[in-house]
Structure 1
Amino acid sequence: MDAAFWHRKWADNQIGFHQANANPYLQQHWPALGLPAGSRVLVPLCGKSLDMVWLAGQGHRVLGVELSRRAVEAFFREQGLKAQVTQRGAFEAWRSGDIELWCGDFFALRAEDLADCTGVYDRAALIALPPQMRAQYMKLLGQVLPGGVQGLLVTLDYDQAMMAGPPFSVGDGEVRDFSGWEVHVLQEKEIVAESPKFVEAGVNSLVERVYRVQF
């Protein structure tokens, strides 16, 4: 998978991963993390997610990182926000109030970019990546996030042989094998009955898991 793959997805409006409302797992479990207002929260591969609006509404400073400029433009347009655009290293940084979206390659992030982050929220980043890229993604997070960062991770677990990703299956064992973080399962739910795309592919179990993570 390369950058062109995701640019095509956005150009063709093939964005089934986008949710029309803030994620219910986020709303249910985030408050228990106890991050104070003003905390800076990283949202990797953010798209135009409304989860960022929700996080900002909780008083957080949100840093989304997104490859597609089309997605970044759509976020600010659909939220009725006027962004100030500047260059931050390898990224084009769009900002309005407490929300920043950095447009560029996530793998270009540096530790100094995230030095003041205390939270991370991943609903659709890890599961968007094939195995080798997942390992690279986790290695990078371990390198650029400061110690003590905590947050939420949402994964999908199903028989990958039945259907090609994305979204990719990320099993509990794989999550626990990544070094550099501590993980605790907060919730898991069987959702195959709500997922016609997976049923049509012959998948008979699709488990969504929510983890509390700490780096």
Structure 2
Amino acid sequence: MNPEFWQEKWQKKEIAFHQAAANPLLISWFNQLALAPGANVFLPLCGKSLDIHWLLAQGYHVFGAELSEIAVQELFAELGLTPTVSSAGNLLHYRAEQLQVFVGDIFQLSENTLGPVAAIYDRAALVALPDAMRQRYAQHLITISQRAPQLVICFEYDQVLLPGPPFSVDSFEMHKLYSSVYSLNCLEKLDVPGGLKRKCQASEIGWLLTPLQSEQN
């Protein structure tokens, strides 16, 4: 999947993946990360998610990475924020109050550019990437976040019935991607009302990823 695919989605407003409310699994389980008030939370491939609105309302500082500048401009506008925009290497850096978003290829985002984050919230990033990219993506997040804990929300469904995105990421793959660094806890599995894209039965699953003790030392 190339960047032009997502750029075109935003240009044509084909953004059915954009939810109309904060994700229920986020609201139910984010406290499991046990973050300090005002902690930095990183959202990869964040779009203009209303999850960001919810996190900001809880007092967290949100750092995002997003390919589409259109999505980022709309995000700040919908929040009523006027960002300052600067360059950060090959990325653009949008910044205002508690919110910062890096615009461009997430693989160009380095640990030094991102800075310290207390946790990662991944709702629509891992499942947006084809199988060939997910291993690279998972390792990149581990590196730039210095193994920060994660709340990851995935879909599980019969990939034969629907080509994706979003792609199906099952328990086996989650463990393959992350179990060398994290302890994985499946928090909750919810049926997707009406099926995924109204085409096939699917589940939405929340995972808590806690760094293994040996990785923290």
The two structures share one fold, judged by TM-score above 0.5? yes
Counterpart pick for 1:214 among 196, 210, 214: 210
Superposed, 1:16-165 pairs within 5 Å as: 16-147=16-147, 149-165=148-164
Counterpart of 2:208, as a letter, is R
Change (3 A) 1:79 1:194: same
TM-score by length of 2: 0.91
Distance 1:214 1:32 in 2: 10
Report the secondary structure of 2:184's partner residue: strand
> Would you say the 8 A contact 2:33–2:119 is kept in 1?
no
TM-superposed CA distance for 1:207, in Å, is 1.3
Asked if residue 13 in structure 1 is aligned to residue 17 in structure 2, the reply is no
Percent of residue pairs identical = 37
Distance 2:57 2:78 in 1: 16
Question: What per-residue deviation string (whole Å, max 9, x for no partner) do you get for residues 83-136 of structure 1?
Answer: 111112221111111011111100111121344111100000000000011111
Report the secondary structure of 2:53's partner residue: helix
Distance 2:196 2:144 in 1: 38
> Would you say the 8 A contact 1:30–1:151 is kept in 2?
no
Report the secondary structure of 1:194's partner residue: coil
- Structure 1: gaps of 5 or more residues: none
Question: What per-residue deviation string (whole Å, max 9, x for no partner) do you get for residues 132-179 of structure 1?
Answer: 1111101111222214x2131000011111111101011111001114
> Would you say the 8 A contact 2:196–2:202 is kept in 1?
no
Counterpart of 2:136, as a letter, is Q
Change (3 A) 1:96 1:78: same
TM-superposed CA distance for 1:196, in Å, is 6.2
Counterpart of 2:149, as a letter, is Q
> Would you say the 8 A contact 1:115–1:146 is kept in 2?
no
Change (3 A) 1:35 1:138: same
- Structure 2: gaps of 5 or more residues: 212-217
Counterpart of 2:15, as a letter, is I
